[in-house]
Amino acid sequence: MKFSSLIIVLIFSSLTIQAQPDRWQQRIKYNIDVLMNVTNNKLTGTEKIEYTNNSPDTLHKIFFHLYWNAFKPNSSMDVRSRELGKTIIKKDKDGRNVLDWDGRVTNRISTLTENEIGYQQVKSITINGKKQQLIEHETILEVILDNPILPKSKQNLVVVFEAQVPKQIRRSGRDNTEGIKFSMSQWYPKMVEYDYNGWNANPYIAREFYGIWGDFDVNITIDKNYMVAATGELQNALKIGMGYTVAGYKPPKITTPTITWNFRANNVHDFVWAADTDYTHVTKKVRNDLTLHLFYKSTTPYNDSAWNNILWAAEKALPYIEKRFGKYPYHQYSFIQGGDGGMEYAMATLIRGYGLGTVFHEWMHSWYQQVLGFNESLYPWMDEGFTSYAEEEVMAWYNENYAWRSPWISQKQKEAILYTNENMKDELPLNQSANYYGYFNLVKSPYEEPLTTHADHYNTNRGYGLSVYAKGGVYLNQLGYIVSDSLRDKILLAFYNAWKFKHPNANDFLRIAEKVSGLSLHWYNEYWINSIKSIDYAVGNINIDTTTSHAVITLKRIDKMPMPIDVLITYKDGSSELHYIPLDIMFGNKPAENKIARTVHAAWKWTHPEYNLSIKRKINEIKSIEIDPTQRMADINRANNKLVIPD
């Protein structure tokens, strides 16, 4: 495509993508009142739900998630975990078998006693005062409606339930290894999402979460000695205090044994809370419409500094994050100690420690798990992969620009960061990032499956992790190679702005990418997402054009996935030139990305395993030939990508 044509396409695309996509989706309002008994770890509650059926379909039944029913011996989660744990992944250095456990779960559910298990029991669901028929399928509750919910209509439901908080195994629970009393995720009967695919009634096996956009008004009554951290904004802060008000404010003395906390959150699809008697609560107002919260248990002065470093780093990184990925739309975000590693929720994350890698990863989920709201069961590679890509970008930017300036780290840590920034950044090529490294390990293993695999149905935990996090993350890095980094960044912003609060799918992203870039990209998803074919290109023989005496370089596609190709030729006189070979099924070229002179050649037909690259200089002038000098292409064998010609 000529430069002028590309400009016209980009202008047209920028106008087209402003229109919001038109796809119906359901809507919900929760009014939840719960009483937490901190002595017996039981929860009783009532949900008043307003459900709007925006679909064209008449609903004769509805479904609810009862996540905590997974935390019982012989549950589907328990058996699935123990079955995967039988798979031998490899031998360790001492020759012992490494099993395919999720290390947080292993066989722990099978050992839970009656007072350690979790459960959620819905006592009744009533509509207009009439009880509905309930059929429990372990972690899914089927509700047979006496009167269907008609298209474009609303229905009010009252749900009465009780639950026992499990000993923390995975994400939810009580009394975790860090001593947090209650980590309350997946704690309420949550209505299942009904969308253009129908009901998404996925049993809770290990992962993932998907919900209806809506508004939450939640009252949590708990022992007055507990501090509560939660999704949303606290409505009765003046009554409670505990760090939710201005410094120096003293709330009225609480004379009752319990206190009720009222949180509200609008336009979210989940709600999480945590509670402990020994939380330290720190806040930072990073702009007029956004306050960050931190909740942690202090054990040493060093931990105080490390925890406080989270809010300092978050404030510094936020402008960069919003410039790259879109504006954070809520007024609050909370980093809450209480996870089993890290787990993202609406306006909050539960984290186990204060490591900034986890902090940035979970925070970036606010963009890709909460605001965009991917169906994580069907598109886990978008949820985790996009987040892993963003985490690496944000972490690299922060380390280079601010990490060494933090007042919350030691002088020794500052010196280590400065040394790395100065001496190490050019030593590791891009494809040695965690995402590329993980992907190359995946390709070498027998555990790779297509990224279209349902999150719960991967054959191994290892295959799932390396696929959705690493290969999913490489997807965006490599997209920058295909369309240019600058257009990839515009694609991400355009996608966020067009699809926020709308549950987009993989094709929705691809269509935005095509509109912004002006290139055809379906082939990319067909190979990278729908298959496990890999990339391997090589520099072959160099021949002489008998007519011109110029060099003709043979390039080879060794493996099955086709790609556009950048070739850098360096000459013995110190000059260099970049040769760009588009892929024929792209139907266009990416724009030039740097100041090196670039020659655009005829497209490489995806059916052809070889391509002859003709240049205008002689063989004896060439010093080296390198395919993909930026190393953004996930070529599984870079040893054959570069040919150095001896003097």
Tens of pLDDT, residues 519-545: 999 999 999 999 999 999 999 999 998
Can you give the pLDDT at residue 4? 39
Q: Do residues 550 and 579 make contact, with C-beta atoms less than 8 angstroms apart?
A: no
Task: Look at 192-201, 257-266, 293-302, 416-425 and tell me which has the smallest mean pLDDT.
Answer: 416-425
Q: Do residues 586 and 564 make contact, with C-beta atoms less than 8 angstroms apart?
A: yes
Can you give the pLDDT at residue 184? 97
Percent of the residues in the chain that have a pLDDT greater than 70, as a whole number: 95
Can you give the pLDDT at residue 431? 46
- The count of residues in the chain is 647
Query: Side by side, which strands form the sheet with 59-65?
Result: 133-137, 140-149, 59-65, 190-191
Please give the distance of CA 231 from its chain centroid, rounded to a whole number.
Answer: 18
Residue 68 has pLDDT above 90, yes or no: yes
Can you give the pLDDT at residue 413? 86
Q: How confident is the model at residue 415 (pLDDT cuts 50, 70, 90)?
A: confident
- How many angstroms separate the Cα of 447 from the Cα of each of 100, 529, 622? 11, 15, 41
pLDDT digits (tens, 9 = 90+) for 173-219: 999 989 999 999 999 999 999 999 999 999 999 887 899 999 999 99
Tokens (6 digits) for 265: 């959150």
Mean pLDDT of 460-482: 97
Residue 3 has pLDDT above 60, yes or no: no
Q: Does 353 or 142 have the greater pLDDT score?
A: 142
Contacts of 588 (CB under 8 A, 6+ apart): 1, 6, 517, 518, 519, 520, 582
Give backbone dihedrals phi and psi of 339, rounded to 5 degrees, phi first: -100, -175
Can you give the pLDDT at residue 425? 56
- How many angstroms separate the Cα of 93 from the Cα of each of 90, 97, 101, 332? 10, 10, 18, 46
Can you give the pLDDT at residue 417? 81
> What SS3 state is found at 560?
coil
CA distance 10 to 393: 25
Cα torsion 389, 391, 392, 398 to 10°: value is 150
CA distance 416 to 412: 6
Mean pLDDT of 368-379: 96
Q: How are beta strands 273-276 and 227-230 bridged, if at all? A: antiparallel
Give backbone dihedrals phi and psi of 153, rounded to 5 degrees, phi first: -130, 165
pLDDT digits (tens, 9 = 90+) for 562-577: 999 999 999 999 999 9
Q: How confident is the model at residue 6 (pLDDT cuts 50, 70, 90)?
A: very low
Q: Do residues 385 and 525 make contact, with C-beta atoms less than 8 angstroms apart?
A: no
**Residue 3: exposed, middle, or buried by beta-carbon count in 10 A (0-12, 13-18, 19+)?**
exposed
Q: Does 373 or 247 have the greater pLDDT score?
A: 373
Which stretches does DSSP call E strand in 177-276? 182-184, 190-191, 194-195, 198-199, 214-223, 227-230, 233-234, 258-268, 273-276
Residue 422 has pLDDT above 80, yes or no: no
Can you give the pLDDT at residue 18? 46
Q: Do residues 3 and 9 make contact, with C-beta atoms less than 8 angstroms apart?
A: no
pLDDT digits (tens, 9 = 90+) for 14-43: 444 444 567 999 999 999 999 999 999 999
Percent of the residues in the chain that have a pLDDT greater than 90, as a whole number: 86
Q: Domains in the chain and their CATH numbers?
A: 3-21+428-528 (no CATH), 26-72+112-278 (2.60.40.1730), 537-644 (2.60.40)
Can you give the pLDDT at residue 189? 98
Tell me which residue has tokens 């490599």. Answer: 478
Closest to 356 (Cα-Cα) out of 322, 298, 316? 316
Please give the distance of CA 430 from its chain centroid, rounded to a whole number.
Answer: 20
Residue 8 has pLDDT above 60, yes or no: no
Q: Do residues 47 and 189 make contact, with C-beta atoms less than 8 angstroms apart?
A: yes
Closest to 345 (Cα-Cα) out of 263, 279, 244? 263
CA distance 395 to 405: 14
Tokens (6 digits) for 18: 């402003």
Across-strand partners of 604? 583
Mean pLDDT of 589-594: 94
Mean pLDDT of 342-370: 95
pLDDT digits (tens, 9 = 90+) for 294-341: 999 987 676 889 999 999 999 999 999 999 999 999 999 999 999 888
Q: How confident is the model at residue 432 (pLDDT cuts 50, 70, 90)?
A: low
Residue 381 has pLDDT above 60, yes or no: yes
Tokens (6 digits) for 163: 């639950």
Cis preceding linkage at 593, omega within 30: no
CA distance 304 to 256: 32
Residue 392 has pLDDT above 90, yes or no: yes
Give backbone dihedrals phi and psi of 285, rounded to 5 degrees, phi first: -85, 110
Q: Do residues 568 and 626 make contact, with C-beta atoms less than 8 angstroms apart?
A: yes
Closest to 645 (Cα-Cα) out of 618, 616, 612? 618
Mean pLDDT of 384-396: 97
Can you give the pLDDT at residue 597? 83
Residue 283 has pLDDT above 50, yes or no: yes
Please give the distance of CA 474 from its chain centroid, rounded to a whole number.
Answer: 13
- How many angstroms separate the Cα of 329 from the Cα of each of 60, 347, 387, 546? 35, 10, 17, 64
Contacts of 45 (CB under 8 A, 6+ apart): 32, 33, 34, 35, 160, 161, 162, 163, 188
Tell me which residue has tokens 């935990």. Answer: 461
Closest to 156 (Cα-Cα) out of 238, 258, 51? 51
The chain-wide mean pLDDT, for the chain, equals 93
Q: Do residues 471 and 439 make contact, with C-beta atoms less than 8 angstroms apart?
A: yes
